[in-house]
Structure 1
């Protein structure tokens, strides 16, 4: 009888612990943002993308089962000037006519401790895909959670800046992508 009661209690405990899993999967786009920073003629420049879509599944208790997919509308770039936005859309930069979006799709998530994670995935810009590892921090805030981090890429790896812009003397090769994604539980 003790064995049956113990088995029943263990089964109930396992079922109950699964019921407490929290999955953040409702991205709140209006509270989220994707930006970037770079150097132009030695001066720090900042910008952002006004439109992106994302799908997210994240359970802090099982990060290895998480997934993320983010697609950025490259024509939604905000460089701080209309002229800059138009230039960035041209063939020599993002070529938004042929490549309207950039895409990140996770392949693995690894917990590092203290709400820090590494998100491995594939980043595709202008038809070129590269493996990347994105360091991220997750901060739970009740029914919502905030994912923040940054990733440094080399624009030359994705042919961002062709022709006369291929050189890195005016616009640096290094670009830092920053993100803040807010998601709620169901």
Structure 2
């Protein structure tokens, strides 16, 4: 009986040791909100305007040795959009613009992440804004900064694709259709 019990115990120890020794291929990372940012740059009357989303959550699973196994999910709180003026901030949350009451979040979910060069990836996925989902892809730069990973990129979109600016605001002579979403996500494990 001692041999049988010792044998079972030895097998469990061997299995547990093997599980501990297995490499972790992708680490779950969380955005450090104090060091991360998401901004939208657009032109109003041909003048560039930068606005910041103050609240967002980025969940990233990433392994530099195997980037194609990586995943990213980003949720942006639309009500946190800040143009720098309280009246403008209220205006863009209305139905004609973001319709934040009905669509409080915008989201991005990756479908593929492919290495292009050292520190450079091509990311594809689904972007959902104001209830409209489209396929997008964009270049992404990745670098290590101490214990953190830094992901930086820019995604050009057309606001009218997502019905941002309805009615009289469809006129692109006032607010251009082109918007550049820029992001810098600094993560911690």
TM-score grouping bracket, smaller chain normalisation: 0.7 to 0.9
For residues 68 and 37 of structure 2, what CA distance do their matches in structure 1 show? 24
Is residue 99 from structure 1 mapped to residue 103 from structure 2 by the alignment?
yes
Partner SS state of residue 96, structure 2: coil
Question: Given the two structures, how large is their TM-score scaled by the length of structure 2?
Answer: 0.86
Residue 144 (structure 1) aligned to one of 130, 148, 154:
148
Structure 2, unaligned runs of 5 or more? 1-18
RMSD: 1.8
CA distance in 2 between counterparts of 1:36 and 1:58 reads 25
What's the offset of the Cα at 1:26?
2.7
Larger Rg: 2
Q: Give 2:9's aligned residue.
A: none
Listed as ranges, the gaps of 5+ residues in structure 1 are 1-14
Whether contact under 8 Å (2:96, 2:166) holds in the other structure is: yes
Distance 2:84 2:103 in 1: 22
Q: CA deviation digits over 1:78-113, x for unaligned, max 9?
A: 101111101110000000000001000000000001
Aligned residues: 171
| Residue 23 of structure 1, CA deviation | 2.7
Q: Post-superposition, which runs of at least 4 consecutive aligned residues in structure 1 deviate over 4 A?
A: none
Task: Tell me the distance in 1 between the aligned counterparts of 2:112 and 2:151.
Answer: 16
